[in-house]
Amino acid sequence: MSARQLIDDEVSVPEAIARVLEEAGVDFVFGMPGGRTLPIYDALYDHSEKVRCVLVREEGLAAVMADVYGRLTGRPGVCMGQAAFMLTNAGMGLVEARLAGSPVVVLSDLSDSPYFSHHAPYQTGSGDYGTWDARNTIAGYTKQTFVAREPAAAVQVTQLAIKHALSGQPGPVAVLYHSAAIAARVGPHTTPRLYGTSAYLQSERQGASAARVDAALATLRRAERAVVIAGNGVRMSQARERLLAWVELLGLPVATTASGKGVFPETHPLALGVFGNFGLEAANVIVAEADVVLAIGTKLGPSDTANENPRLLDPQRQTLIQVDIESRHAAWTMPAEHCLIGDAGAVLDQFIEAARRAGLRRNESAAARVAEAHRTKASFDVSESSSDESPVLPQRLIKELHRAVPSGATITCDAGENRLFMMHHFQTKPGVEYLQPSAVGGMGYAIPAALTAKLVRRDHPAVAVCGDGGFAIAMNGLMTARDEDIPIAVVVLNNSQLGWVRHGQGARPIASHFADYDHAAIARAMGCEGIRVERPGDLQRALTHALSCGRPTVVDVVVSDRYTFRDVASPLAAYP
């Protein structure tokens, strides 16, 4: 079929960019208007039925929201704002997207001053003498950065940015517009010619070669104690249902990486939970005993493999099968006998079809091995999960949250000890989405992540779980929640300190304590609801209200600092 033109009549460059976003299926733009992005925002006014602009109070939240949008939908999340602030404030969210492989498009500018860029004017990021260099500032944490100085190029590189964000392993791509490009117009005969956006976007997801699939299945057929390790790539491929079908077909135990937590329901009889540095002992034991390990959508980084401890994963005593969309990731951190390069979902479809064709039988003993590991080794529930101690123990709070959260909800976590406690003790139910910043581990992630989850999955609850440090960084997200009518619940583990930092400092604490703040009162002052909880018996009522009241609500829980990150760290992580 012949390519069609993007535009039939002359329009402004911002209008053409708005059409590109709409054609690409972008339905949200997160950010703050400013600089040369103002004309693009103005053009989006006429596209507001298809593309909703969500105003944040700080650009860092916009980047996290774009990252989470990409994770949940598989489509590019778009954040937009003025260069001097978007490209600096948004750093944490964009680095998380880069390392985690989330499709994100950053639309910004050079903050240039026409005619005077060489004279170091206010805000200019053109890279000329006396100015700052916007391109080099962001290039270090994006897959690709485009600078558009010509009108048609400004439109075309917007299309290419979406293409690059989705191609191979997804990631963030930036477009920086020069003022001369944004101020111009384009038409059907502009050079270079402008074509419809769909022509640039590949929709088919590629699988691995049939020969490699068959060879991997032959290895699995001979295995006695095979195990699956699922990573964030399963989420990015929207392949959770296919993973479930595959492991149920063969009866394979499933552990997840920290980034992959949530891609497989942890209440399932074959679920081991998270393995690795802060994983469950039950998961680490089953992985360590495996003779064949099938790793899907994970790079198997040091935090997953207990710093490459051979007592956990060892390619000399185990056969490793690795599935990844990026060929450089397969057999990157340790040798894999079988490398299958392709989209996780597409390869899982190949596995299912080939296994059924070959008549592979289900391992009926795997579920019993998993149950025995959870019964005899440290697992989700511990004695502290039912403690009536005050201040509230984190384990008790997490157990009450597990009871309160319905299937289909989204849990978003932050950084610090609170995330480690959640990753270790919170047991995901079927349909529960679980997101955390485990690629770079920056604070301030949970609240903007929950905002996006509620926008994308409007009919399902979204719960942000954070420490008091992370809440302080991103609490302005409650203003966005109120302004944009996004009813999220925020659960704060309030121990008046940076827990991981403080407990790591031992007898020499410095710059890690806070005053005692009432975060529920802060929420009420912002026009949201706030509930302070100091006794375990009040948790369930507070959580139930926060999940059902239909308004942004903060549940501020005063928690004990008696337990630390060391209580959820695997002994294997001490290696080497």
The DSSP element (H or E) to which 44 belongs, if any, is helix 38-44
Is the previous residue joined to 335 through a cis bond, with omega within 30 degrees of 0?
A: no
Share of the chain above pLDDT 90, in %: 93
Helices (H) and strands (E) in the chain, counts: 22, 20
| Contact (Cβ atoms closer than 8 angstroms) between residue 337 and residue 220 | no
Whole-number Å distance between alpha carbons of 239 and 74: 11
What are φ and ψ of residue 191, in 5° steps?
Answer: -110, 130
Give me the architecture of the 383-563 domain, per CATH. 3-Layer(aba) Sandwich (3.40)
Domain edges within the chain: 11-200, 210-376, 383-563
Report the amino acid identity of residue 174. A
CA–CA dist 62, 79 (Å, integer): 6
pLDDT of residue 117: 78
CB 206 within 8 A of CB 139: no
pLDDT at 154 over 60: yes
Average pLDDT of the residues in 376-391 = 95
> What is the pLDDT at residue 122?
87
Q: Rounded to an integer, what distance in angstroms lies between the CA atom of residue 477 and that of residue 447?
A: 6
pLDDT value for 1: 53
* The pLDDT of residue 512: 97
Q: Rounded to whole angstroms, how far apart are CA atoms 495 and 397?
A: 13
Q: Report whether pLDDT(116) > 90.
A: no
- CB of 83 closer than 8 Å to CB of 134: yes
* 517 contacts: CB under 8 Å, gap ≥ 6: 468, 472, 494, 496
- pTM here is 0.96
- Interacting residues of 146 by C-beta distance below 8 A, sequence separation 6+: 157, 160, 161, 173, 174, 175, 176
DSSP 3-state of 14: helix
Nearest 5°: the CA angle 327, 277, 248 is 65
Domain 210-376 and domain 383-563, same fold? Reply is yes
Task: DSSP letter for 362, please.
Answer: P
Burial of residue 115 (number of CB atoms within 10 Å: 0-12, 13-18, 19+)? exposed
3-state secondary structure of 189: coil
Question: Residue 208: helix, strand or coil by DSSP?
Answer: coil
CATH classification for the domain delimited by 210-376, as one of 3.10.620.30, 3.40.50.1220, 3.40.640.10, 3.40.1170.60: 3.40.50.1220
Q: What is the mean pLDDT of the chain?
A: 96
Q: How confident is the model at residue 442 (pLDDT cuts 50, 70, 90)?
A: very high
- CA dist 138 and 97 (Å) reads 13
Of 43-52, 92-101, 126-135, 536-545, minimum mean pLDDT range: 126-135
- 231 pLDDT above the threshold of 70: yes
Those residues whose C-beta lies under 8 Å from the C-beta of residue 458, and which sit 6 or more positions away, are: none
For residues 147 and 80, is the Cβ–Cβ distance under 8 A? Answer: no
Could you give the CA distance from residue 158 to residue 201 in angstroms, rounded to a whole number?
12
Residue-wise pLDDT for 272-307, tens only, equals 999 999 999 999 999 999 999 999 999 999 999 999
- Dmax of the chain from CA atoms? 74
φ/ψ (deg, to 5) at 292: -130, 130
The CA distance from 170 to 316, in Å, is 32
Give percent of the chain with pLDDT exceeding 70: 100
Cβ distance 54 to 484 under 8 Å? yes
Q: Which of 91-95, 116-120, 383-387, 456-460 has the lowest mean pLDDT?
A: 116-120
Contact 426, 373 (CB under 8 A): no
Inform me whether the pLDDT recorded for 133 exceeds 90: yes
Give me the DSSP letters along 340-360: EES-HHHHHHHHHHHHHHHTP
Q: Which CATH architecture has domain 11-200?
A: 3-Layer(aba) Sandwich (3.40)
CB 59 within 8 A of CB 31: yes
Flag whether pLDDT at 115 surpasses 90.
no
Q: pLDDT tens digits for 307-362?
A: 999 999 999 999 999 999 999 999 999 999 999 999 999 999 999 999 999 999 89
Rounded Cα distance between 545 and 194, Å, is 52
